[in-house]
Amino acid sequence: MRAVGKRFDGGVEAVKDLSLTVAPGEFVSIVGSSGCGKSTLLRIIAGLVPGTSGSVEVHGEPVTAPRRDVGLMFQRPALLAWKTSLENVLLPVALHRRVGADDLREAMRLLGLFHLQGFEHRFPRQLSGGMQQRVALARLLMTGARVRLLDEPFGALDELTRESLNLQLARLHERSASATVFITHNISEAVLLSDRVIVMTARPGTIAADVAIPLPRPRSLSTAHTPDFQKLALAVRDGLESPSGEGG
Ligand SMILES: Nc1ncnc2c1ncn2[C@@H]1O[C@H](COP(=O)(O)OP(=O)(O)OP(=O)(O)O)[C@@H](O)[C@H]1O
What is this model's ipTM?
Answer: 0.96
- pLDDT, residue 127, reads 95
List of residues 6+ apart from 95 with CB closer than 8 A: none
pLDDT at 180 over 50: yes
Query: Residue 244's pLDDT band (boundaries 50, 70, 90)?
Result: low
Residue 8, classed as helix, strand or coil, is: coil
Single out the residue of 212, 215, 152 nearest to residue 186, CA to CA: 152
Ligand 1 binding pocket includes 39 (Cβ within 6 Å): yes
Single out the residue of 154, 163, 90, 77 nearest to residue 120, CA to CA: 90
Please give the Cα distance from 217 to 172 (Å, whole number): 12
Mean pLDDT, all residues of the chain? 92
Tens digit of pLDDT for each residue in 67-82? 989 999 988 778 999 9
Ligand 1 atom closest to the Cα of residue 6 is 12
Q: Is 132 exposed, middle or buried (0-12, 13-18, 19+ CB in 10 A)?
A: buried
Ligand 1 binding pocket includes 38 (Cβ within 6 Å): yes
Whether the bond into 227 is cis, omega within 30 of 0: no
- pTM of the shown model: 0.91
Ligand 1 binding pocket includes 10 (Cβ within 6 Å): yes
Tens digit of pLDDT for each residue in 106-120? 999 999 988 899 999
Ligand 1 binding pocket includes 124 (Cβ within 6 Å): no
Residue nearest to atom 28 of ligand 1 (CA): 35
Residue 128, classed as helix, strand or coil, is: coil
- pLDDT, residue 241, reads 82
Please give the Cα distance from 118 to 241 (Å, whole number): 46
Q: Kindly list the structural domains of the chain, giving each domain's residue range(s) and its CATH number in brackets, ordered by start.
A: 2-69+146-245 (3.40.50.300), 79-144 (no CATH)
- pLDDT, residue 243, reads 62
Tens digit of pLDDT for each residue in 5-16? 999 999 999 999
| Torsion sign over Cα 78, 80, 86, 89 | negative
Single-letter amino acid code for the residue at 117: Q
Please give the Cα distance from 197 to 180 (Å, whole number): 12
Tens digit of pLDDT for each residue in 115-146? 899 999 999 999 998 899 999 999 999 988 99
Q: Is 49 exposed, middle or buried (0-12, 13-18, 19+ CB in 10 A)?
A: middle
Tell me what the mean pLDDT of segment 207-213 comes to: 96
Segments in 95-216 forming alpha helices (H): 101-113, 129-142, 159-174, 187-193
